[in-house]
Structure 1
Amino acid sequence: MDYISIALQLIVGLSILNVWLIQYNKSTQWRGGNATTLKEEFAVYGMPEWSLYLIGFLKVTLAIALIAGIWYPELVNPSALGLAFLLAGSVFMHIKINDPLKKSIPALLFLILCLLIVFVV
């Protein structure tokens, strides 16, 4: 089970870091509405600009902590639960603006993986 947990921690952590550090200003098929960047996506959701930076900081910090949990296991559950909470918010935002289900799939998938990390593996 340890290897499965480590794999899930790496998948979730590195994916979140990819979105927030590498894909930040790039258009993807998963962005809410017709947004082409994360900043535009938050505007589509009707969220203030400061929330982009707060949520970004939290997601990057929790993703790093989730990866660090490989060596410091006490970080795993709080990090995974924090990410699950934020990812649930992402799914909610997609629903709020009536995005097609397809756009919610990454957030929903990583939400499920975070919950698996905490409650199953």
Structure 2
Amino acid sequence: MTVLDYVIIALKLIVSLSILNVWLLQPQKATKWRGGAATTIKEEFKAYGLSETVCYVIGFLKITLALILLASIKFESLSLIGSLGLALLLLGSIVMHFKIKDPLYKSFPAFLFVVMNLGIAYFFL
């Protein structure tokens, strides 16, 4: 394996484990990154004007794609599905932050993970 292979694996681990952390371990935890004045994921989606159903659908998709990205460490053919799928959903997160006029810093984690996912995808195109 090359150094680049290890960098790609590290990026996959950082992105997938971070997404799983947010959605599975800390959905009820207030952070400075949540949209609006929300303290939970459900409140954040409400601040965006989205329903609880949409929250569950997006959560399911993000968790599934994070697991796919994690699995892509072993099964490289899954890399594009996981990385591009997450990049698309995270772009949606950025749009929602702009929609409700959040301070720019609240979009930073999503932006950073979009860049990481596009970097991953680049090496599998």
Alignment TM-score, normalising by the size of structure 2: 0.95
- In the alignment, the residues of structure 1 paired with residue 112 and residue 99 of structure 2 have an alpha-carbon distance, to the nearest angstrom, of 18
* Aligned match of 1:2: 5
1:69 is displaced (CA, Å) by 0.3
The answer to whether 1:18 aligns with 2:21 is: yes
- In the alignment, the residues of structure 2 paired with residue 87 and residue 53 of structure 1 have an alpha-carbon distance, to the nearest angstrom, of 15
- In the alignment, the residues of structure 2 paired with residue 111 and residue 46 of structure 1 have an alpha-carbon distance, to the nearest angstrom, of 23
Name which structure has the greater RCO, CA cutoff 8 Å, separation 6+: 1
Deviations 1:7-61 (A, max 9, x none): 0000000000011011100100000000000000000000011000000000000
1:120 is displaced (CA, Å) by 4.4
Q: CA RMSD, aligned part only?
A: 0.9
- In the alignment, the residues of structure 2 paired with residue 52 and residue 64 of structure 1 have an alpha-carbon distance, to the nearest angstrom, of 18
- In the alignment, the residues of structure 1 paired with residue 22 and residue 42 of structure 2 have an alpha-carbon distance, to the nearest angstrom, of 12
Gaps of 5+ in 1: none
SS at match of 2:37: coil
- In the alignment, the residues of structure 1 paired with residue 52 and residue 59 of structure 2 have an alpha-carbon distance, to the nearest angstrom, of 11
Which AA in structure 2 matches 1:24?
A: P
Deviations 1:57-114 (A, max 9, x none): 0000000110110100011111100000000000000000000001000001001100
Gaps of 5+ in 2: none
Q: Alignment identity in percent?
A: 57
1:63 to 61, 66, 75: 66
* Aligned match of 1:102: 105
Alignment TM-score, normalising by the size of structure 1: 0.98
Q: How many residues align?
A: 121
